[in-house]
Amino acid sequence: MSRNQTIIIVVGLLALTATGGLYLVKSQAPGGKRRLVVSTTTSLYDTGILDEIEEAFEAENPIDIYFISVGTGLAITHAKRGDTDMILVHAPSKELTFMEEGYGVCRKIIAFNFFAIIGPGDDPAGIKDLSPTEALETLVEKGRAGEAIWVSRDDDSGTHSKEKGLWATAGFDVSALREEDWYKEAGAGMGKTLQIAGKFEAYTLTDVGTYLKYTEEGLVTLEVLVGAGKELINVYSAVAVNPEKNPDASFDDAVTFIEYLVSDEGQAIFSSYGVDTYGAALFNPAVELLKTGTDPVTAGWIEEAAYFDGSECPQQFRAGKTELYD
């Protein structure tokens, strides 16, 4: 059995174990509070920002939030099975499918940051400051020559979706690349993937938020070599489970939480979280930017990456909650 297969099986067993406890999670809440179960991407959870959001939200509402941290693909699967009440994810194409299949409503864009291609400081492949496409083309060449290693998330997460899209734009088929020795697969969350890439002195794609946190904690020594820009925009959204699809979902409480995330108070947490520790926020608030267009270039990147038919949530998916879009 290969190393990649072993990693994937272990992660899958852990996910299955977590799933077995979801009924208990949804049925219990302390102090008579209502329980809201949210499946979320690891890149939000691992940074710690959700702890701060949870504390502030619960101080004002009789709702107990329980986060299930997994890749975006599994987060959506949990919601489709009725295990969770809403999702916080960063894969627009998957979010659209989730809504089109009738499972998701009331989508709101809540924040953004950027992906980055990171690697060893001495950059043996020589990709520093290239465009993402040029960098990946170079990595294939150097990888095949035995001069570079790539580590893929390979977990159906939002980051993995972005990675596959970047490879496709560069003209490569991931299903073919994964058969090559220099292309490794973690089958794990962002933090673990960063550590695996560090162990191999390899290159990988990461969200900037998780990267900064793990770097500050001394868990990663790889450096950002290709970052920011239109191709690497990373947009986070909240989507409630459709009560028509799952009448047992805590729809009203999910909407209450979404309203908090896009409120001035919720957005202020995004704008400040990480500044004292890292010198910059790990996530950027998106609501005011999209509403006012104060930075039309970045707003345009977000809209191109994460709008559907000119909207963050087309009319047919708003479930009557028009106030979210005023």
DSSP 116-129: EEEE-TT-TT--TT
Paired with 233 in beta bridges are 114
238 — pLDDT class (breaks 50, 70, 90): very high
CA distance 146 to 67: 41
Q: Is the dihedral of CA 299, 304, 307, 310 positive or negative?
A: positive
- pLDDT for res 22: 52
Would you say residue 190 has pLDDT above 70?
A: yes
Cα of 107 vs its chain's centroid, Å: 15
Q: 10 Å Cβ neighbour count for 16?
A: 9
CA distance 82 to 76: 10
**DSSP per residue, 155-209:** SS-HHHHHHHHHHHHTT--HHHHTTSTTEEE--S-HHHHHHHHHHHT-BEEEEHH
Burial class (CB in 10 A: 0-12, 13-18, 19+), 23: exposed
- pLDDT for res 15: 44
CA distance 101 to 244: 12
- pLDDT for res 10: 35
324: DSSP letter: G
229 — pLDDT class (breaks 50, 70, 90): confident
CA distance 300 to 302: 5
- Please say whether the beta carbons of 283 and 270 come within 8 A: yes
The domains found in the chain, sorted by start residue, are 3-113+234-325 (3.40.190.10), 114-232 (3.40.190.10)
* Burial readout 204-233 (b: 16 or more C-beta within 10 A, e: otherwise): bbbbbbbbbbbbeeeebebebbbbeeebbb
Overall size of the chain counted in residues? 326
Percent of the chain with pLDDT over 90: 86
* Burial readout 130-164 (b: 16 or more C-beta within 10 A, e: otherwise): bebeebbbbbbebbeeeebbbbbbbbbbbbbbbbb
Burial class (CB in 10 A: 0-12, 13-18, 19+), 318: middle
Residues 6+ apart with CB under 8 A from 94: 72, 73, 76, 158, 161
pTM of the model: 0.89
What's the pLDDT tens digit per position in 133-173?
Answer: 999 999 999 999 999 999 999 999 999 999 999 999 999 99
Would you say residue 108 has pLDDT above 80?
A: yes
Of 141, 41, 105, nearest to 252 (Cα)? 105
Q: Which two tokens stand for residue 264?
A: 């001035």
Residues 6+ apart with CB under 8 A from 310: 303
Residues 6+ apart with CB under 8 A from 7: 185, 186, 187, 188
Residue labelled with tokens 């673990």 = 192
Percent of the chain with pLDDT over 70: 91
CA distance 147 to 76: 37
pLDDT, the chain, mean: 91
C-alpha dihedral (162, 165, 166, 170), degrees to nearest 10: 180
Pair type for strands 284-285 and 183-185: unpaired
